[in-house]
Structure 1
Amino acid sequence: MDATDHTIVRLLVEDGRRTVADIAAQVNMSASPVKRRIERLERAGMITGYTAVVDHDRLGAGFEAFVELRFAGDTEVEQITAAAAGVPEVLEIFTIAGDPDALVRVRADGVHHLRSIINELRKHGAVRSTKTLMVLGSWRRGGATMP
Structure 2
Amino acid sequence: MNRTVLTLLGVLGSAGLLLGALYFQYVQGLLPCQLCYWQRYGHVGALIIGGIALALPNRILLALAALSALSSSAIGLFHSGVERQWWEGLKSCSAPSLQGLSPEEAMEAIMNAPMVPCDQIPWELFGLSMANYNVAASAVIAGLFVMAMRAPR
TM, length-normalised to structure 2 = 0.23
The structure with the largest helix share of the pair is: 2
Instruction: Tell me which structure has the larger Cα radius of gyration.
Output: 1
| Structure having greater relative contact order (Cα 8 Å, sep ≥ 6) | 2
TM-score normalised by length of structure 1: 0.24
